[in-house]
Structure 1
Amino acid sequence: MKKQQTLTAYLLIGIGVFFLLQQLNIPILSNFYSWQTIIILIGLVLLIHSYVTKSYQNLFTGTVILGLGIHFYGIAYYSFWIDHWAMYLLIVGIAFIIRYLHTKEGIIPGLLLIVFAIIMLFSIQLPVWFNWIYIVVEYLERFWPVILIVLGLYLLKRKK
């Protein structure tokens, strides 16, 4: 119960600091008064809570939320930021790797997602012998809802 109270305390402190800074209206921080900053803040709180309490169940979630917040912030405020669907795979892959560093689980999915994301990010410059990737990606883009449904049903029916 104490660990849950610390998570709530960190969230309240972080959101309180965010709104206090917003009320102070410091000019140098004007770009940070956005919903993306709140997402970044929630991700940071989950990561800080995981490290302080040494219970790493929120490590993956915190990394994903922090990564999404940074990505959305970058899209909104930086013209050079990459706005490609493979960025989401990259964020999840990084989250798997960070979780692996503390729990020793998830290295293979993390590496696969990162490699696939990097290939897709640079897919415009792929050599001719990688044309099969375009076909696979086209099918994935067309049938991803069905893939998610089948994966969900598999996870429900899988015996532990």
Structure 2
Amino acid sequence: MKSHKLFTGVALVGFGIYFLLKVLKVTPFESFYSWPTLLIIVGLAFLFQGFLGKDYSSILPGVILTGFGLHFQLVNKLAIWPNDTGTFLLIIALGFILFHQKAGSGLMNGVLFLLLAGFLLFYEDIIDSITFIQVGQETLKFLTPLLFLLIGGYFLLSKRK
């Protein structure tokens, strides 16, 4: 079993800095005194454990927690930041791809989530551009979740090697 001293140390130092800045009421950081910052701290602790501690199973939760925390911090502060379901899938895809880079597995999941993220981020544009199909947009919007269910069911029911 891997030692989680690095994770614990980074998390406690991060929480210490967070609460110290909050108690001291350091004004440049006032917008960071919220729960998304705590997600970022825990996520960074996982990433330190994953990369520096060579505990590669910590990379995926680290990317997800850090990414979700950053998303919730930035969504109302940056006009260009997308507030879409596809953003979450993009963060998960990044986590799987980084995990694959170190552990050698998870690439198919990363690519699948990346494709789904792209589809969801550009969903309206894709639906609008499919003019050659004589099916209405509402029908396509209904068929999309069914497609996800079918693909997910295939992965759940197909035999594992």
The aligned counterpart of 1:128 is 130
CA distance in 2, matches of 1:37, 1:9: 17
CA distance in 2, matches of 1:28, 1:106: 39
TM-score, length-scaled by structure 1: 0.79
CA distance in 1, matches of 2:141, 2:61: 26
Cα-to-partner distance string for 1:75-113 (whole Å, 9 max, x where unaligned): 243343211111111111111001011011111221121
Secondary structure in structure 2 of the residue aligned to 1:77: coil
Secondary structure in structure 1 of the residue aligned to 2:75: helix
* Alignment pair present for 1:138 and 2:142: yes
CA distance in 1, matches of 2:54, 2:141: 39
Counterpart amino acid of 1:106?
Answer: G
CA distance in 1, matches of 2:146, 2:160: 30
C-alpha deviation, 1:115, in angstroms: 2.0
C-alpha deviation, 1:59, in angstroms: 0.6
CA distance in 2, matches of 1:101, 1:20: 36
Count of equivalent residues: 151
C-alpha deviation, 1:26, in angstroms: 1.6
1:15-94 correspondence to structure 2 within 5 Å: 15-94=15-94
The aligned counterpart of 2:113 is 113
CA distance in 2, matches of 1:80, 1:27: 25
TM-score, length-scaled by structure 2: 0.78
CA distance in 2, matches of 1:61, 1:41: 12
Secondary structure in structure 1 of the residue aligned to 2:13: helix
Secondary structure in structure 2 of the residue aligned to 1:82: coil
Counterpart amino acid of 1:15?
Answer: F
Taking only aligned residues, the RMSD between alpha carbons, in angstroms, comes to 2.8
CA distance in 1, matches of 2:13, 2:80: 33
User: Is contact 2:46–2:58 with CA below 8 Å preserved after alignment?
Assistant: yes
* Alignment pair present for 1:96 and 2:96: yes
